[in-house]
Amino acid sequence: MKTSRRQLGLIVEGNSTKSVVLRYPGLADGIGPIKALSPAVARRVSNFFRSGESVDNYEGLRECESVLIRVPDSSIPRIISEICGSRLDLTGMSFVLCESWLSSDSLANLKSRGATVATVVPVLGDNGKWFALEGQFVAVKRARRLLNGLNARTVELKPGTKHLYFAASAFAETLPRALFTAAQKALRMSGVTGKHMYELVEEMAQGMFRDLDRGTRGGWSGASVGCPEQIASGYIDELKKTSPELAVLLCEQLRLSEPFVPPRGKHGSDDSGPL
b/e per residue 179-194 (b: at least 16 CB within 10 A): eeebbbebbeeeeeee
Give the CATH architecture of domain 7-160: 3-Layer(aba) Sandwich (3.40)
β-bridge partners, 67: 9, 95
In this prediction, residue 114 carries a pLDDT of 96
Give the 3-state secondary structure of residue 214: helix
Look at residues 132, 57, 138 and name the one whose alpha carbon lies nearest to residue 95.
Answer: 138
Query: What would the pLDDT profile of 209-267 be if each residue is shown by its tens digit?
Result: 887 777 655 554 444 545 777 878 888 888 899 999 988 988 888 888 777 765 554 44
> Which helix (H) or strand (E) is 56 found in, with range?
none
pLDDT in tens, 76-114: 999 999 999 999 999 999 999 999 999 999 999 999 999
